[in-house]
Structure formats: structure tokens, C-alpha cells
A and B are shown apart, each in its own frame.
Chain A
Amino acid sequence: METTFAAKLIMIQTDILIIGAGPCGLFTVFEAGLLKLKCHLIDALPQAGGQCAEIYPKKPIFDIPAYPEILAGDLVDQLMAQAAPFKPGFTLGERAETIIKDEEGQFVVTTNRGTVHRAPIIAIAGGLGCFEPRKPPVERLEDYEDHGVEYIIKDPEFYRGKKVVISGGGDSALDWTNFLADGVASEVTLVHRREGFRGHPDSVQKVLDLAAEGKIRLLTNGEVVGVAGEEHLQAITVKHKTEGEITVETDHWVPLFGLSPKLGPIADWNLNISKNAIEVDTFDYSTSVDGIYAIGDINTYPGKLKLILCGFHEATLMVQSAFKRIYPDKNLVLKYTTVNGVNGF
């Protein structure tokens, strides 16, 4: 909490504020650095790397020039190393929420946790958007959000002495079931669509043991289809494959179905948007708002290909345009790194 409070007191100033710390955002730091422009990145995920780090770090990528094969996670590490000389700043685990233009024509971007950033140039490299918890399609679910329905377990103490139902078959569902059943919650029920679990074998075995000992209630072949209660959640309904509908009294329901990307608050930034992507001019990847650029998977233009290597190209052209916008009177000469090396900050 202290960091949040401290963040509120500080305004982070930079040259290019990059929304999204995926491959494209990270490479922007390097290209901007060559032009002596400083960058700061905001990302809703707790680590840099975007999809490559969050969804498929162990998957090989085969279409990065000069790498016949590279793991997505390794690509992120290499991009971080390449950006390091230019000392990028990071605001991670926070979502860029609002944007305003101040009296000096600079953009002020505030995150959902109140961190304030200021820059003359914004580069949106938001990929697919922000990763948000997948919400099950259950009627009136939103009525109980923060009144018994939570999609993330922030503090397990919150559940002390309470009845809790967890849904899902992955590691987080298994781990939290095991943790809460160990003297924290008064009752734990785990609901999963099928018999098998895809989590770590140790966690799976522990859950099965707890169920056999009667310490948790395990409802496989079922899914939660209904929520009920006055203001606060009081019960959920499970539709079981063979046994029909089962009502479980509970204080909390925590559906853990992973994350899926949503365009998020950027959709309200008054940019021209078509089919969930930001329209740009391919001359410099500028959007319909002066000073805001969009690069990588989040933009669209005739012939657009959602490839990392195209994002790198877009980032490179974009920073040239950003430089001219920040320093309209300075001449910009393309310098080759083979001639000058990389001179960090």
C-alpha cells in the first residue's frame, strides 16, 4: 500500500510513454534510445514481455529475423537486455486508465492505481489489450462482484472462517483450494468441468487426498450456473453432468478461468478504432490524435499483419516521427549502430 501512496505523489516524466511492455514496446525503448529519447512503459501485467511472457513463454517462435528458433520468453529477455542501456522505467501491474492533455500540450496518463505519468508522446503498444480475468456467463454475476464473487484472490485472510467455492481446473484453482482448506476457510468446495485436472501433479494429488479425507468438497463434472443471495452472495447452483442441479451454500465464489485480453480503457481515448484495433497512418503510425501513436498488434491499416517483426518496423519508424514532434527544429540523421555503437544513458 505504501508504494501506491508514494506513486500518487510522484509524476513520472518521460519523452515517450509506452502503453504495453510487450516485444514491440520493449524494442521502442531501444530505437528511441538511439535518438536520445527516454521511455517509460506501463503494463497491466506484473511482468514485462506481454503475451510472450504471459501466455507462451516456452513456445518457440520461428519468424524472428536471424533467429531460426527462439523461445518467446528468451526473446523477451533479449529485448530487455537490448533496451537496458537506455534505462527504461516501468509501471507494472497497473492499467493505463485515463489520458488528458495539459496546458503545455503534454499528455498525462493515470493508471487504475493512481500512478501519474507525463510525456509529450504516447506510443500505444498494447497488443491485444489488457489481460483481465475471464468471467463465466452466469446471470446476475455482476450484482455479486465484490459482494462474494471475486476473480482474483488478493489476500487469503479475507476468507478466514468463511465458506468458499472455487471453480477451475488449473494451478491457481488447485493451489488456492489447498491453501484455503488448510485451516483458513471454514468450508472449501472445488467445482471443475471434468474429472481430470491439468495442474501440477502434486497439487492435484493433494486436492484428491483432501477430498478423500472429507476436508474439501470436490464436485467434478459440474459447473456453476447460478448465483443467489440478498445483497451478498449466499449460494451457488452447480449443474452436474449426472446428478442435475446441486445448491451449495457459500459466502464466496472465486471463478479462476485464466485471463483474456480486452481493449480496455484505451477504447475510450477518442482514437479512431475499427474492429478492436486503432487506425493508424502507415507513414509514421500516428493515430487520429496528434502525438499519440499505435504500434504492433493493437493497430490496423490496409495490409496489416499481426507479426512481432512488423511491430519492430513500426516502432522504428514511429520514433523518428516522435523525435521530429519533440524537436521540430533539430535535423535527424539516421546513424548506424555499426558506426556509432550503442551509447546508453
Chain B
Amino acid sequence: MSIIRVTVIDREGNPHELEAPTDMNMNVMELCKSAELPVEGTCGGMAMCASCHCYVESTHADSLPEKSDNEEDMLDEAFHVKDESRLGCQIQLADSLEGMVIRLAPVG
């Protein structure tokens, strides 16, 4: 499979069903940007700005790779952080993420 479906819930609570290619070396931040969702991706995906902070709400949260130190450090500087918090730029789109649901964290 090279296309998966990912649901992104925006900050107003509206779900967006997106089709995501898994063979383009893309991450969740880039997927959101390409769908013109309000994700800045300020640092370009280096886990250095937290503008792509999101919550993984589906059970995929358990099977994602562990947070790197960089990601954990950046989440230290973010706000509204919860257990299911991740940086979208650190989640690579893969076939195993079919059906994943993520919610954009509040800005600020």
C-alpha cells in the first residue's frame, strides 16, 4: 500500500480525512501543510519549534517509535502538553498508520 488515510482534527474540532502517501518520505507536519491546515512547521521539521504539536488520539499512539531526546526537549518548551503529545514532524507516514487520528494542539 502506498496511500493511507489519516484524520486530522483541526483546532476548531473539524475532522479532515486526508489521503497520505507513504512512499514520499513525508511526515505528519508536511501532510498537514500540504492540506493547507494551519500548521506552521516553522523550523522545517527539525523538532525545534513545536508549531506542529499534536495529540495522537487513536491506538496508533502505542505503536509509534519512542520520542527522541530532541522531541522530548522541544515538548518541554511547548504548552498544553499531554501524555499523547507528539511533534507532527517526527511522525513519519508509514503503512502501519492507516486510520490514525490526530488532533492539532492549541497554539501558544
Q: How far is the CB of B14 from chain A (nearest CB, A)?
A: 20
Pick the contact of B106: A59, A137, A170 (CB < 8 A): A137
Residues of chain A with a CB closer than 8 A to B12's CB? none
Pick the contact of A56: B48, B73, B76 (CB < 8 A): B48
A272 within 8 A of B: no
In whole angstroms, what is the CA distance A300 to B44 when docked? 16
In whole angstroms, what is the CA distance A134 to B69 when docked? 20
Please tell me the size bucket of the interface on A: 20 to 34
Q: How far is the CB of B55 from chain A (nearest CB, A)?
A: 15
Beta-carbon contact of B108 and A198 below 8 Å? no
Beta-carbon contact of A193 and B76 below 8 Å? yes
A128 within 8 A of B: yes
Closest Cβ neighbor of B83 among chain A residues: A241
The A-B contact count (CB < 8 A) is: 46
Beta-carbon contact of A168 and B77 below 8 Å? yes
Complex interface residues of chain A between 260 and 302 (CB less than 8 A to chain B) = 260-261
Interface of B is mostly: loop
Residues of chain B with a CB closer than 8 A to A101's CB? none
In whole angstroms, what is the CA distance A55 to B48 when docked? 7
Beta-carbon contact of A137 and B80 below 8 Å? yes
Q: How far is the CB of A116 from chain B (nearest CB, A)?
A: 31
Given contacts A56-B48, A137-B106, contact A198 B80 (CB under 8 A): no
B43 within 8 A of A: yes
Complex interface residues of chain B between 24 and 38 (CB less than 8 A to chain A) = none
Per-residue 0/1 for B54-82: is the Cβ within 8 Å of any A Cβ (1 yes, 0 no)?
A: 00000000000000010011011111110
A90 within 8 A of B: no
Beta-carbon contact of A135 and B76 below 8 Å? no
Beta-carbon contact of A193 and B81 below 8 Å? yes
Residues of chain B with a CB closer than 8 A to A85's CB? none
Pick the contact of A170: B44, B46, B76 (CB < 8 A): B76
B42 within 8 A of A: yes
In whole angstroms, what is the CA distance A196 to B106 when docked? 24
Given contacts A128-B42, A135-B108, A137-B108, contact A168 B76 (CB under 8 A): yes
Pick the contact of B49: A59, A137, A260 (CB < 8 A): A260
Given A56-B43, A169-B76, A193-B81, 15 further pairs, Cβ under 8 A: A55-B43, A55-B48, A56-B46, A56-B48, A137-B106, A168-B76, A170-B76, A170-B77, A193-B75, A194-B76, A196-B72, A198-B69, A198-B72, A198-B76, A260-B42
